[in-house]
Amino acid sequence: MIPDLGKYSDTVLSAYAASILLLVALVVFSILRGRKVRAEMDKLEQRMSRHG
């Protein structure tokens, strides 16, 4: 399914692989940290509301 990239096949594929990997890593790390911080905040707010 990959088009014929000729003699530059490695060049093009490595550029796409590196870029997509970096973009996906950025999105995944952002979401994981976002969820962790949100859960931490909810837990803290609940604890504080219980103790007045």
Distance CA 34, CA 49 (A): 22
What is the dihedral sign for C-alpha 7, 12, 15, 20? Answer: negative
- Contact between 50 and another protein per CB under 8 A: no
Cβ at position 3, least distance to another protein in Å: 6
From residue 10 to residue 39, the character string flagging contacts with another protein as x (rule: CB under 8 A) and all else as - is -xx-xxx-xx--xx-xxx--xx-xx--xx-
Contacts with another protein by CB under 8 A lie at 3-9, 11-12, 14-16, 18-19, 22-23, 25-27, 30-31, 33-34, 37-38, 40-41, 44-45, 48
